[in-house]
A and B are shown apart, each in its own frame.
Chain A
């Protein structure tokens, strides 16, 4: 058995022992700890001070753990001297303990500046003066704060801020004094420090800067502090949080090499001492000392690898650390250097003092060498990793500080909690996605099918794919179907269209037969219907079973199996007669809701399937197509006829566009708008196609805008002189979109994919000579238009409008439970 003695039972000492135990046995371990406890998480003392955490909650290893692992714990015993020749340690209980290997992990001690009156002549610290390092310190502060009113905290760094905030929760009025010109000056520049100061003051903490404390006032009890400028502040207690110093007293007394800390090499071995190691805040490695836990986790691993012989080559190369402030409501994260140091360092800064937000990044040779986040720290994960590992950075540096548009950054996946809800539509957590991947599903599509993550509004799809990648550890399999138009036919859209044309395939089933080996695929049907109708117009052979229910009954299915009916209301304009009919229908069929939609028309909700034909007949209005992947609406504003700013007759043009292109099927919905001036009341900038009247009788046409799950301003396609030109370009754009976009690809994705320059060239300048063909084909489609609501009079299939749920419940209450619409009334047959 190798005898290992560890001096210091703090975070580094205990972690090293854990790491040693994890690597095997054969070690007889003795641990000395000056504090009379097992090992606890020192970081959480801030929470104990603020009352956010109970003392019991911060212990890392119970006394039982030491016993179970055969560790001889000498709690409350201080080692006084190390004899490296005799290889023994002497302790203040008189014991002498022999070692084969010695680990020194004595941590740090608070730095107490030389201030008059700090120390009581006999009792050490003046009563009422506290340091903030140990559990005992914390308990003493809490006890004292309970029955005193005013505290001064000396030190405006991390520890001081946490102490100040913690004391406040005990009803103490706190003044924070700091000798430097701004708070957290080791981590922040002056501007950031200024913003932090305001955030801290908003919490009710008084800040005094720069203020060097020169004296503690009061003989028997603390009465105040005095500063170098002669001013003073009255108080009953003082907390010193002015920094830490490596605790090297023992090492020094024992003749070990000490500079600022105990000098160690890359194996954490004390210089010139083959059997003595040091770890944690007490060490100085390659000139650096640390005051955070992350480095000591790394050190403990290396030391354990080395001591146990697990990895003789293990070496510690130093750490890059990031600081985070643990004060509720004041988020600070900082890493690396504070400000640019060289001429060619890049410095990206964003400051919004009012909101307490400040962010900066220092970049050198395309690597992050420093970053500060204040008030909004959600990018810290990426910055930290980029800083630590030298990850490549986005060309647009602003993306380092903000998520622009899309969902979060690449590394978000790894950082998210397992319980984090990724898909808010379908309530799918990161854990569920990861479990599916671990269960063997290695394609994005497969995971989406299995969990339905990303199948709601779709805005989380990027994140889902990142999580899949992360969970598969790089072993993501390419979705073979990713490039196919629909999952059940192994062809891209251009290939599929060519094959369909070549073989004259006019129905969905003939496509499956000819191009998918006769294998029908329910998921592919809707997309094929859309494509074939677009391609063949009148010649398309309709198979009703290939349609989605909405397209079978020309209404949008609702959660209870009823449908919504949205009649066409071109450009949002209606008449008293139409309104009267709508009112009558709503009453007659007891519709639970009549609603003005976001698309400038009226929605009749909760219509029973069997009532649909009658509702249409009585409305006597055309379908508004609110249910299809098709041309939907054209929103308009009142425009030149009424509005004092109107520059063009937007209402008339909107109606003309809607009349012309109504109902055309398309890869995704098409929502348009025409607005009478750039004030944009009809929201034309954020439509699939939006038209804006501008000065001089001209019209701007924007395409690829969105304001749904995705928000995007459209790109300017062209500025034209007349409504006729708007109609012509609109038709061309729609047809080109119909022919080349992927199934369900909205224009907000398609336009940026193909590029607005490309669209301008093809559609405006006719660079590829496509325009005449596009114009002709869209004209044919327009000509083939038939209002589907006329179908009601004669059902297209038997039972087209038969109910499909055993009973219909609408809105809050149960409406009409019967008659249960079963045609074949059951006749008891023979039993078997």
Chain B
């Protein structure tokens, strides 16, 4: 089974400050993309399943992001919550010659 995915270009990686997240709208949905301190990229759904908090505004480290509203913790690689919430959706994301490219499975 091959999962069909559509890729989108989101602009320069340089627009994403190191260690922080930003919101991108991909195919009509919000995605929070993070550029970790080791340079790797992560992309998860932008809205906290707890009460709609802005995930892109959260504090992140190499493993998790903390929602700024009520401090629920989510793993960036899997989207799973470490504090008992529903998971975030995870998107494949990569750096393509200085450009952010994200995949959305159809």
CA distance A455 to B66 in the complex (A): 14
Q: Which of A520, A560, A797, A823 contacts B17 (CB 8 A)?
A: A797
CA distance A827 to B8 in the complex (A): 5
Q: Are A548 and B69 in contact (CB under 8 A)?
A: no
Q: Which residues of A contact B66 (CB under 8 A)?
A: 522-523
Q: Which of A544, A561, A823, A827 contacts B57 (CB 8 A)?
A: A561
- B101 → chain A closest CB, angstroms: 6
Q: Are B54 and A561 in contact (CB under 8 A)?
A: yes
Q: Can you list 11 A-B contacts (CB < 8 A)?
A: A426-B70, A449-B83, A451-B84, A545-B20, A546-B59, A798-B17, A799-B22, A805-B30, A806-B30, A823-B24, A826-B25
Q: Which of B7, B11, B84, B106 contacts A823 (CB 8 A)?
A: B11
- A630 → chain B closest CB, angstroms: 17
Q: Which residues of B contact A804 (CB under 8 A)?
A: 21-23, 32, 46, 54-57
Q: Which residues of A contact B20 (CB under 8 A)?
A: 544-545, 552, 797
- B25 → chain A closest CB, angstroms: 4
Q: Which residues of B contact A526 (CB under 8 A)?
A: 59
Q: Are A798 and B15 in contact (CB under 8 A)?
A: yes
Q: Which of B2, B23, B37, B55 contacts A802 (CB 8 A)?
A: B23
Q: Which residues of B contact A830 (CB under 8 A)?
A: 7
Nearest to B45 among chain A residues (CB) is A806
Q: Are A521 and B61 in contact (CB under 8 A)?
A: yes
Q: Are A545 and B56 in contact (CB under 8 A)?
A: no
User: With A522-B66, A545-B18, A548-B68 in contact, do A824 and B30 touch (Cβ < 8 Å)?
Assistant: no
Q: How many A residues have CB within 8 A of the partner chain? A: 46
CA distance A450 to B84 in the complex (A): 7
Q: Are B23 and A822 in contact (CB under 8 A)?
A: yes
B86 at the interface (CB under 8 A from A): no
Top 7 A-B residue pairs of the complex, sorted by shortest distance between their CB atoms: A545-B19, A824-B11, A824-B10, A829-B7, A806-B30, A804-B54, A822-B25
Q: Which residues of A contact B9 (CB under 8 A)?
A: 824, 826-827, 829
Interface majority SS (helix, strand, loop, mixed), chain A: loop
Q: Are A824 and B18 in contact (CB under 8 A)?
A: no
Q: Are B17 and A831 in contact (CB under 8 A)?
A: no
User: With A799-B22, A829-B6 in contact, do A805 and B54 touch (Cβ < 8 Å)?
Assistant: yes
Q: Are A544 and B23 in contact (CB under 8 A)?
A: no
Q: Are B22 and A831 in contact (CB under 8 A)?
A: no
Q: Which residues of B contact A520 (CB under 8 A)?
A: 37, 61-62
A763 at the interface (CB under 8 A from B): no
User: With A821-B23, A822-B25 in contact, do A799 and B55 touch (Cβ < 8 Å)?
Assistant: no
The listed residue with most B CB atoms (<10 A of its CB), out of A509, A557, A826, is A826
CA distance A582 to B102 in the complex (A): 42
- A823 → chain B closest CB, angstroms: 6
CA distance A290 to B82 in the complex (A): 54
- A798 → chain B closest CB, angstroms: 5
B98 at the interface (CB under 8 A from A): no
A832 at the interface (CB under 8 A from B): yes
A67 at the interface (CB under 8 A from B): no
Q: Which residues of A contact B27 (CB under 8 A)?
A: 826
A671 at the interface (CB under 8 A from B): no
